[in-house]
Amino acid sequence: MLSSRRFAGLSLALMSLALSTVMFTSSAFSLELSRRERSIIAAVIKTLERASELQFTGNTKEATELWIKAAGQMQKVIDQGNPDVYEELSKGFGLFGRLHARLELDGASMPPYHEPGLSSDAMVKQDEDKPMEPTNPGEPNSIFSLVSFTKEVGPILLNRCGRCHVNRSSGGFSAASYASLMKGPPAGVVVFARDVASSVLIETIESREMPPNGNGIPAEDLKKLKDWIAQGANFDGEDPNQRITAGEQAAAPMPETELMVVKATGRESVSFSRDIAPLLVENCNGCHINAMQTRGGLNMDTFAQLLRGGDSGAIITPGKGEESLLVKKLRGTAAEGVQMPAGGRPALSDDSIALISKWIDEGATIDADERAPLERISRLAWAAAASAEELTARRREIADKNIRLANATAAPEEVITDHFRIVGTASQATLEIIGRESEKHLAAAQKLAKPSGERKGENFFRGRATIFVLPRRYDYSEFSKMVESRAIPGNWSAHWRYDGIDAYIAMVANDSAEPDEISSTLVAPVTSLAIATRNPGVPRWFAWGLGNAQAMNMNAADSDDKERLQLLASQAAAEANNAKVFLGNRLTPEQTDSLSTAIGMAMLDRSKRRGLEAALRQLTDGLSFEQSFQVGFKQTPEQFVDAFLKYVRR
């Protein structure tokens, strides 16, 4: 909901927009235009106005998507070849150009734009009832030309990334086909359609992390990659599994690489998560784990990547510990190369190497999620064995370090409650208000996620959670940059994070904030944190969606907020063909969050409430998220989301 001051500023901006489009309104339409043509032009205007509004309020990504949509709508109309329609639309060309320029200044990656023309052989007015023909975005008169994957993006990837990620799958990442590129490495998706900023592919190229020579790629190639993603990362070939080429003859489809991941039976004497992952994280970090540039093509960020090996092939031979390259490298008995760890680090003890060899002898099994980072697996194993007091102490240590990183302007104060440690530069009275309201909202959340006997009091979070109170928006933004290495959306005033050990909320609040304002800000993050900490396997969309939905219910969201959520969720549902797109994080962050909130609203509905409570009870008792969800809702998360998407699209 916009504040009155912000709304007033927005109204002035839209007034300017309205004056620019006065000749573009229904009352000014040429008498030669049909009712259908007028309604189409009105739809273009509405979309453009909404894009301008979003750009003004700082929602650059959504504004960019709507600009592209409006441009596509206008192009479709122009392609019908009606000179009268073209004349009316031409009055808005300047508007399109100005908004395009403002979005580029905001940092959006925009497709190239030029004022469209009307082709000389299409000057025939269409019959009112004749269906619209599809636009051909590649025609010279188009508003923008779509970048071709097969003719432009594929050749760029082949030329710039081919040796490591087309001919091989270095680091577990193959870009040999459109399908494998969009799938990404085991660590996660690297291309988010229409979201250039969140696409790791672009981030690694711009930072010159890739290609590994550090020289980057030509600006023209980078621009094409950005434009392709901004336009939807579309595929224009026949088979998405076809191997990419230099733009001519297509090669045979690429087969998918099979990973031999074997789950632990529980009969093993050595645990990967408890015994092996911590050893690897401690001794291989920087070169093969969390490395800017992996050595020898060996990326060990995840278990799946560890099994895949590097340039020398697989480093693990299940059942044969002493014959495995990993053990030989650790002992210094490999035929080639130096003993590991390299770089002056001390060698592992004989007992540690024997433990790794024993684990391989027992089948090199895994008792965790093979897709999770080894660092996370190691953290979760420690946390599972730690007491509430140990976790509280560890969180205090992390929080003290983080508050210093945020460069607070004064020495922080703190308030301790049953479940929270509130720390910040606000007065003691303000911190006490935050503590009181947090406990109140946690009590409401506990009605959903009922704690078992041993999870009451401080044990609800298995140690107190931290609430960081930052006095200004600038401090809040700096906290996210320094602590989380990310920029947060402009409309956020609070968020939460849980990584298996640390559990915290960061928020903007100072002594001038009203208690009601503080209270409403805390509902979503407190609820989401309560849900997320029930089980390390709880996905973000589930906790985020329920937290935001609870906030909308408790804060009595007005009809405008609900209509906006419905609109955003409908747009996201239209983008997601099925649940796998949503659950696989292939939507933009904004689309994922709006759809998550809408799903959360559905789960909090009376008809689904009992199922939700049953699922959360199972999570608290240690059942996996998939199993808990099926117990509560009698279907898998994928089936539930698919059914919800169909409902929204009706």
Contact (Cβ atoms closer than 8 angstroms) between residue 63 and residue 54: yes
- Give tens-digit pLDDT for 588-640: 888 889 999 999 999 999 889 999 999 999 988 888 899 999 999 999 999 99
The CATH number linked to 492 is 3.40.30
Contact (Cβ atoms closer than 8 angstroms) between residue 525 and residue 505: yes
- Given this model, what pLDDT does residue 250 score? 41
Select from 328, 362, 380 the last residue of a domain.
Answer: 380
- Given this model, what pLDDT does residue 95 score? 75
The answer for 135, left when phi > 0, alpha when psi is -120 to 50, beta otherwise, is: beta
Report the alpha-carbon distance of residue 424 to residue 415 in Å, rounded: 9
Together in a domain, 375 and 395: no
* Dihedral angle of Cα 110, 111, 116, 120, to the nearest 10 degrees: 180
- Given this model, what pLDDT does residue 535 score? 85
DSSP 273-337: IIIIHHHHHHHHBTTTBS-SS-GGG---SBHHHHHH-BTTB-S--TT-TTTSHHHHHHHT--SSS
- Given this model, what pLDDT does residue 133 score? 41
Together in a domain, 495 and 396: yes
Integer Rg of the chain from CA: 28
DSSP 191-215: --TT-TTT-HHHHHHHTT-SSTTS-
Q: In this structure, is residue 433 part of a structural domain?
A: yes
Together in a domain, 485 and 577: no
The encoded tokens of residue 240 equal: 């998405």
Angle between the N-to-C axes of helices 93-105 and 60-78, in degrees from 0 to 180, rounded to the nearest 10? 150
Q: In this structure, is residue 142 part of a structural domain?
A: no
Q: In this structure, is residue 529 part of a structural domain?
A: no
- Given this model, what pLDDT does residue 18 score? 39
3 state DSSP class of 394:
helix
Select from 360, 380, 400 the last residue of a domain.
Answer: 380
3 state DSSP class of 373:
strand
Contact (Cβ atoms closer than 8 angstroms) between residue 594 and residue 569: yes
In what order do the strands lie in the sheet containing 503-508?
Answer: 413-416, 420-424, 465-470, 503-508, 494-498
In the 8-state DSSP scheme, what is residue 419? S
- Given this model, what pLDDT does residue 291 score? 73
Of 466, 467, 501, whose CA–CA distance to 391 is shortest? 501
Together in a domain, 485 and 540: no
Together in a domain, 100 and 27: yes
Total domains in the chain come to 5
Together in a domain, 376 and 393: no
- How many CB atoms sit inside 10 A of residue 326's CB? 25
The encoded tokens of residue 309 equal: 């090996």
Together in a domain, 294 and 363: yes
Select from 361, 380, 399 the last residue of a domain.
Answer: 380
Where in the sequence is the domain holding 454, given as residue range(s)? 388-511
3 state DSSP class of 379:
helix
Q: In this structure, is residue 419 part of a structural domain?
A: yes
- Given this model, what pLDDT does residue 187 score? 64
Q: In this structure, is residue 258 part of a structural domain?
A: no
Q: In this structure, is residue 517 part of a structural domain?
A: no
Together in a domain, 406 and 506: yes
Q: In this structure, is residue 260 part of a structural domain?
A: no
The low-confidence residues of the chain, meaning pLDDT below 50, are 1-31, 120-141, 248-259, 454-455
Together in a domain, 551 and 490: no
- pTM of the complete model: 0.58
- In a 13 Å sphere around the CA of 134, the CA atoms on its Cβ side amount to 3
Q: In this structure, is residue 603 part of a structural domain?
A: yes
Together in a domain, 392 and 322: no
Together in a domain, 369 and 404: no
Report the alpha-carbon distance of residue 361 to residue 365 in Å, rounded: 10
Together in a domain, 112 and 209: no
- Given this model, what pLDDT does residue 584 score? 83
